């Protein structure tokens, strides 16, 4: 058996081109035999401590590396953590040459240089040997398990170096980069293993089994129509109620046992329930919007399982729309024209290209920060003589084209020239193949806000509100603003119309001018000498006033009015039999007052 191992080792050294000198091959062969004489069973070497393993000379360790690469000997974790086990050089010569070439091709496309790629492949090679799997068979669980095993080994060895996430800093960065490259190679289906979708049984273990099974079935149905994030939020909200119910009402083991009194008790609980985030201070309670969404999730849960005719559905309505708290609807916050001008000026003067591009693009296009980060290399489109920006699918699930400002076009060209993407579908703002996060955008906006001297906090979405408000104040039609911002309906755009309503401004100006005139007129009247007239005289003078359609008749009592029957005396006046009672009353009134002329007029009309 030993002769077979030594013979295959000698053949590998010749095929890998280590040395064509026979003397060198014989020295390596003696080292292999020396190792086998010390350890007739090579697995005995694994039982040694890391210090004793390193006592083997260089030729013996070369044979150990060969056995490890052939998967004939497991690789101890202590041996992995030594600075340079020389596995990499032996592997890329022949055994893992194709694997390294494939990895190098993808990693270089993501922007890694050659020394970093070699450092990453050393970590990948250790993972493959530790998991006893080829490259294409690796899973994300293998990587996570390997990283956890390294953490435990670091604790046992008491390694004295800078740690990050429980690992030596270099190993942590290596494994993170390997994970990104394997994702782009198609080995890993996702960048991270989400615990949100897989931890249902663990999270709901304290909830009664029948209730948890019904909720899980409900969430499985909802995940077919909702976005993943919306389905996750639905699970969180339902868990808030059912976990509270399991702790306070342990006799409730099925959904059909829930009564209205439990809903009322839950409403009282969330009224003073503390926030569950660690950054919140003592005394912080849930916001009205959070309470609204908790009760709405319950409302639709009971409504839907009743509509689906599930046997565990309650027989009566438990949650009503009247249970929802009334939400405030504040207007969007925006920068006024002076602050917006200062912000834009500070952004243009900033030396960092990404900060300059980010802030100027957001305030001149009104894009959401997620849409900005999702821009791809082919986002600039020329239609005719003008350039347009293709905004990718975003919050409303629709893409759109918006006019590209010349300044934004110039900044995008500079960015593409500085960081050229490899493929048309690559993210424009990426680091080693991974799209930049929202924190990068928020930090850039905050940095420019401070440089502009704006004391209040500025979020990236506030720049979107600023553009919409300025556009409405400048008379831009609502339809055009809705198309620019990607609104699904005009009702969303009308929120900004409430901020800068030009009609309200014009009408208010007219009213304020009229009030100013009235105030000035009162001042003039106060300066004129007042008439000597007492209260009784003023009342006697106004008692006989008669209100007309557009004023008063001030004719004193006893003075006849020659125009009192002017309509009845007109040749165009016409009457019918239905008005005969009124005409007779008018004739009788004229006779009592001694108005002979009026009596004759009404007598002729009656005849």
Question: Using one digit for the tens of pLDDT, what is the confidence trace for 546-563?
Answer: 555 556 666 665 556 656
Contact 113, 196 (CB under 8 A): no
The whole-angstrom separation of Cα 450 and Cα 156 is 47
Would you state the pLDDT for residue 197?
A: 46
CATH T-level fold of 337-471: hpI Integrase; Chain A (1.10.443)
Q: Give the lowest-confidence range in 120-134, 196-210, 347-361.
A: 196-210
By CB neighbour count within 10 A (0-12 exposed, 13-18 middle, 19+ buried), where does 418 fall?
exposed
Would you state the pLDDT for residue 530?
A: 46
- Of how many residues is the chain composed? 607
The whole-angstrom separation of Cα 439 and Cα 430 is 13
β-pair partners for 391: 400
* 198 vs 400, residue with greater confidence: 400
Q: Give the lowest-confidence range in 360-369, 408-417, 475-484.
A: 475-484
* 37 vs 269, residue with greater confidence: 269
pLDDT digits (tens, 9 = 90+) for 178-206: 888 888 888 887 665 444 444 677 788 89
Residue 548 three-state SS: coil
pLDDT digits (tens, 9 = 90+) for 216-242: 999 999 988 888 888 889 999 999 999
β-pair partners for 401: 390
| Residue linked to tokens 């986002």 | 379
* 385 vs 532, residue with greater confidence: 385
Would you state the pLDDT for residue 535?
A: 56
pLDDT tier for residue 347 given thresholds of 50, 70 and 90: very high
pLDDT digits (tens, 9 = 90+) for 434-445: 778 888 899 999
Would you state the pLDDT for residue 455?
A: 87
List of long-range contacts for 412-421, beta carbons under 8 Å, 24+ apart: 412/357, 412/361, 412/379, 412/380, 414/353, 414/357, 415/353, 415/354, 415/357, 416/377, 418/353, 421/376, 421/377
Residue 532 scores a pLDDT above 50: no
Q: What is the pTM of this model?
A: 0.57
The whole-angstrom separation of Cα 317 and Cα 299 is 9
pLDDT tier for residue 277 given thresholds of 50, 70 and 90: low
Q: Give the lowest-confidence range in 194-203, 287-296, 393-402.
A: 194-203
Residue 604 scores a pLDDT above 90: no
Would you state the pLDDT for residue 399?
A: 76
pLDDT tier for residue 536 given thresholds of 50, 70 and 90: low
Would you state the pLDDT for residue 267?
A: 92
The whole-angstrom separation of Cα 322 and Cα 131 is 58
pLDDT tier for residue 534 given thresholds of 50, 70 and 90: low
* 398 vs 256, residue with greater confidence: 256
Q: How many CA atoms lie within 13 A of 302 on its CB side?
A: 22
Average pLDDT over all residues of the chain: 80
* 492 vs 537, residue with greater confidence: 492
Most confident range (mean pLDDT) of 150-159, 174-183, 308-317, 378-387 is 308-317
Contact 10, 28 (CB under 8 A): yes
The whole-angstrom separation of Cα 147 and Cα 150 is 5
pLDDT tier for residue 521 given thresholds of 50, 70 and 90: low
CA-closest candidate to residue 295, choices 316, 326, 274: 326
Would you state the pLDDT for residue 451?
A: 92
């Amino acid at each position: 058996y030993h002769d077979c191992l030594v013979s295959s080792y000698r053949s590998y050294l010749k095929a890998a081109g280590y040395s064509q000198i026979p003397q060198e091959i014989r020295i390596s062969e003696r080292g292999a035999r020396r190792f086998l004489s010390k350890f007739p069973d090579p697995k005995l070497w694994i039982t040694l401590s890391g210090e004793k393993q390193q006592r083997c000379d260089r030729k013996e360790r070369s044979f150990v590396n060969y056995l490890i690469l052939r998967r004939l000997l497991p690789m101890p974790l202590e041996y992995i953590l030594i600075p340079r086990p020389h596995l990499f050089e032996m592997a890329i010569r022949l055994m893992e040459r194709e694997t390294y070439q494939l990895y190098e091709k993808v990693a270089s496309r993501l922007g890694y240089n050659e020394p970093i790629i070699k450092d990453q492949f050393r970590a990948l090679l250790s993972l493959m040997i530790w998991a006893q799997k080829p490259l294409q068979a690796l899973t994300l669980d293998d990587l996570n398990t390997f990283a956890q095993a390294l953490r435990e080994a670091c604790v046992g060895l008491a390694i004295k170096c800078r740690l990050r996430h429980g690992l030596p800093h270099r190993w942590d960065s290596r494994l993170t980069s390997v994970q990104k490259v394997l994702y782009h190679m198609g080995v890993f289906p996702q960048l991270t293993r989400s615990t949100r979708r897989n931890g249902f049984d663990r999270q709901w273990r304290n909830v009664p089994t029948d209730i948890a099974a019904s909720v899980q079935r409900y969430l499985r149905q909802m995940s077919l129509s909702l976005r993943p994030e919306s389905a996750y939020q639905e699970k969180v909200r339902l868990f808030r109620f059912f976990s509270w119910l399991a702790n306070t009402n342990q006799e409730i083991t099925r959904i059909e046992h829930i009564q209205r009194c439990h809903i009322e008790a839950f409403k009282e609980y969330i009224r003073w329930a503390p926030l569950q985030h660690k950054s919140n201070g003592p005394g912080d309670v849930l916001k009205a919007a959070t309470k609204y969404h908790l009760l709405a999730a319950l409302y639709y849960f009971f409504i839907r399982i009743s509509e689906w005719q599930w046997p565990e559905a309650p027989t009566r309505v438990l949650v009503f729309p009247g249970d929802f708290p009334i939400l405030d609807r504040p207007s969007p916050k925006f920068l006024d024209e002076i602050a917006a001008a200062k912000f834009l000026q500070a952004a243009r003067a900033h030396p960092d290209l990404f900060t300059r591009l980010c802030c100027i693009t957001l305030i001149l296009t009104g894009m959401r920060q997620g849409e900005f980060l999702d821009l791809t290399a082919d986002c600039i489109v020329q239609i005719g003589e003008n350039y347009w920006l293709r905004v990718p699918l975003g919050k409303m699930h629709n893409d759109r084209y918006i006019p590209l400002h010349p300044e934004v076009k110039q900044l995008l060209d500079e960015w593409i020239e500085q960081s050229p993407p490899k493929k048309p579908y690559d993210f424009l703002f990426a680091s080693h193949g991974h799209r930049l996060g929202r924190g990068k955008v928020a930090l850039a906006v905050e940095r420019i806000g401070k440089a502009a001297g704006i004391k209040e906090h500025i979020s990236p979405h506030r720049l979107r509100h600023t553009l919409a408000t300025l556009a409405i104040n400048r008379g831009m039609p609502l339809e055009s603003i809705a198309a620019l911002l990607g609104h699904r309906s005009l009702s969303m755009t009308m929120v900004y119309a409430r901020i800068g309503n030009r009609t309200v401004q014009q009408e208010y100006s007219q009213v304020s001018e009229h009030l100013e005139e009235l105030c000035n007129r009162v001042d003039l009247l106060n300066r004129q000498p007042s008439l000597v007239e007492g209260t009784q005289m003023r009342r006697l003078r106004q008692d006989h006033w008669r209100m007309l359609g557009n004023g008063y008749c001030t004719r004193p009592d006893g003075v006849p009015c020659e125009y009192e029957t002017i309509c009845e005396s007109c040749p165009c006046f016409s009457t019918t039999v239905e008005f005969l009672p009124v005409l007779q009353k008018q004739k009788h009134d004229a006779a009592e007052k001694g108005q002979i002329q009026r009596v004759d007029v009404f007598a002729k009309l009656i005849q």
